[in-house]
Amino acid sequence: MLEVRNLAKTYGAVVAVQDASLALTPGEIHALVGANGSGKSTVIKVLSGVVRPDRGSIRWNGAVINVASPRDARRHGIATAFQDFSLIPTLSSVENCALATRQPAKVVARWLDEALDGLGARFDVWAPVETLTVNHRMVLEFVKALAQNPQVLILDEITAALDQEQVDCLFGRVREQMSRRPVAVLVVTHRLSEVLQYCDRVTVMRDGRTVSEHPVTELSRTRLAELIVGEAEGSGSMDHAGTAPPVGEPHVAELVQVSGRHRVSDVTLAVRRQEVVGVSGLQGQGQDELLSLAALFDHPKKGEIRIHRRAEGESEGGRRTIVPRVSQREIARTVGYVSGDRAHRGVFYRRSLTDNLFAQAYAMQGMFSWISLSRITRQTREILERLHIQGHPEQRIETLSGGNQQRVIFGRLLLNPFTFVVLDDPTLGVDIHSRRAIHQLIRAHREGGTLVYSSDNDELIELCHRVAVMFEGRIVEEFTDHELTTSTLGHAMLGRTVQGRETR
């Protein structure tokens, strides 16, 4: 048994963990849950040898062990798959796994393809890791940790960008490994459904402390959420978005028989003003390319993309259509974009909260435009207050929790009334509080329409008026209102019959 006792860690005046205890039993999958900033990440980093605690101990079968470095962690049989990745981006998948397992690259190449294929991830294992999608990097991070044959396997938000089929496969591999040897598994996740479906026990952290531990069989989703946030989750947290806006609302974005250069084929999709339209599908079905086309990052190989923006000073009836080949400044004024991949597509870690908030606004200004520093500082304070973020304008964004970083990114949408907003897994890896706040911001986008992809079907059901399902590069089905269930989405994602009708 691996035990953490009375752990404490501070960073200057900031208390990250003040009294955390945890016990992991071989042959058991143990979940560690809590809101962002509750101390989960610090506990993981201490167990992995990345951070040294100020107080407390780690014990293995009753004996105190020293985990002062990642090398110490590996020596004690602890392997971690990190949410922010321990992969070397310029090396290939084979080379990263070879470094971790101390095996020759040729040996790794033989088993790596098979391991990835079993998790529904097919990609070039010799390509640099920096060229991979977030989904593929997460799968690789897991495979690399599992290949070390650990006694303790730690999965830190590693399922955040995986679809349901991949999550099933991942936990199937974990159980398979546990059947061969008594591995203790610690899972950190914000997806409460995963805790209830796959885990045996759960420890809850709040404000840097361990507040409770329970067998999963004793908990409901509502009760678990109450333990995490310290209050009743409230009936509104899983409300459906409701029926679609009136048919009379104008279209703000139209994709007409659009095909991309890779996966997307003959897609027709429209988004109305005040409407939230979701995109669902198994990984690799063309969602990434579809969002890139919709956000006007790429040009379609064929078909048309139209964004209808009401020009400044015009009446509701007067609208201007823009297409991908207009200026970047025009696009920046019209189309907003937010990604859940904060590290690569979201934040500038070493820049201030003000710089991160105004990043897109800066792009909309001319090279020699006048910017009032007092005005943007005032606006930053107003947005931080509105989004309930504790911080000051000149504070570096890297000092915030992941959930608060994502709120700052969404704050960009408050600075400009975008006609059309594209969201790519926007609540990836954030806690319940931040997820609620982000959903409120999405629903409050009354001046335009929103297209959102999420790897979590429950989120799409909760948030969207309509959901389009992609399969093999095409939209094969659309669901609205009462048709939106996990069952209908799941069947359509696999190309199966839905409610007595074949997918298109």
In sequence order, which residues have a C-beta less than 8 Å from that of residue 248 and are 6 or more positions away? Answer: none
Q: How confident is the model at residue 234 (pLDDT cuts 50, 70, 90)?
A: very low
The hierarchical CATH code for the domain 2-236 is 3.40.50.300
What pLDDT shows up at residue 242?
A: 53
Q: Which residue has the higher pLDDT, 327 or 294?
A: 294
CA distance 58 to 77: 13
Helix (H) or strand (E) holding 345: helix 342-345
Closest CA to 454 of 157, 134, 57, 163: 163
Q: How confident is the model at residue 162 (pLDDT cuts 50, 70, 90)?
A: confident
Q: Which residue has the higher pLDDT, 464 or 313?
A: 464
One-letter-per-residue 3-state SS of 57-103: EEEECCEEECCCCHHHHHHCCEEEECCCCCCCCCCEHHHHHHHHHCC
Q: What number is the average pLDDT over the span 19-23?
A: 92
pTM for this predicted structure: 0.63
Q: Which residue has the higher pLDDT, 401 or 365?
A: 401
Give the number of C-alpha atoms closer than 13 A to the C-alpha of residue 265, restricted to the C-beta side. Answer: 9
pLDDT, tens digit, 9 for 90 and up, residues 27-42: 999 999 987 678 888 8
Q: Are 43 and 32 in contact (CB under 8 A)?
A: yes
pLDDT, tens digit, 9 for 90 and up, residues 333-361: 788 888 877 666 677 878 888 888 887 66
User: What residue type is assigned to position 38 of the chain?
Assistant: S
Torsion of CA 137, 185, 6, 189, to 10 degrees: 50
Q: Which of 11-15, 259-263, 265-269 has the lowest mean pLDDT?
A: 11-15
What pLDDT shows up at residue 369?
A: 58
pLDDT, tens digit, 9 for 90 and up, residues 429-443: 777 777 888 888 888
Q: What are phi and psi of 428, to 5 degrees?
A: -55, 115
Q: In what order do the strands lie in the sheet with 184-188?
A: 63-65, 55-60, 2-11, 14-24, 209-215, 201-206, 29-33, 184-188, 152-156, 78-81
CA distance 301 to 289: 12
What pLDDT shows up at residue 132?
A: 87
The superfamily CATH assigns to domain 251-493 is: P-loop containing nucleotide triphosphate hydrolases (3.40.50.300)
CA distance 60 to 46: 14
Q: How far does the chain reach from its first CA to its final CA, in angstroms?
A: 52
CA-based diameter of the chain, in Å? 74
CA distance 128 to 2: 35
Given a cut of 90, whether residue 186 has pLDDT beyond it is yes
SS3 content of the chain, % helix, strand, coil (to 5): 35, 25, 40
Location of each CATH 3.40.50.300 domain in the chain: 2-236, 251-493
| Collapsed DSSP state (helix, strand, coil) of residue 227 | helix
In sequence order, which residues have a C-beta less than 8 Å from that of residue 414 and are 6 or more positions away? Answer: 383, 386, 441
pLDDT, tens digit, 9 for 90 and up, residues 60-91: 988 999 888 989 999 999 999 987 668 898 99
Tell me which range, 84-93, 192-201, 330-339, is most confidently predicted by mean pLDDT: 192-201
In sequence order, which residues have a C-beta less than 8 Å from that of residue 255 and are 6 or more positions away? Answer: 267, 268, 269, 270, 290, 293, 294, 303, 304, 305
Closest CA to 56 of 7, 4, 2: 7
Q: Are 22 and 32 in contact (CB under 8 A)?
A: yes
Beta strands in 391-494 (DSSP E): 420-424, 449-453, 466-471, 474-480
Given a cut of 50, whether residue 415 has pLDDT beyond it is yes
Q: What number is the average pLDDT over the span 296-316?
A: 75
Using a 10 angstrom Cβ sphere, with 0-12 exposed, 13-18 middle and 19 or more buried, the burial of residue 237 is middle
What pLDDT shows up at residue 364?
A: 60
Q: Are 227 and 65 in contact (CB under 8 A)?
A: no
H helices of 126-203, where?
134-146, 164-180, 192-198
Q: Are 267 and 259 in contact (CB under 8 A)?
A: yes
Percent of residues, the chain, with pLDDT higher than 90 = 30
Q: What number is the average pLDDT over the span 126-144?
A: 89
What pLDDT shows up at residue 495?
A: 66
Q: Which residue has the higher pLDDT, 107 or 333?
A: 107
Q: How confident is the model at residue 237 (pLDDT cuts 50, 70, 90)?
A: very low
User: What residue type is assigned to position 366 of the chain?
Assistant: G
What pLDDT shows up at residue 165?
A: 83
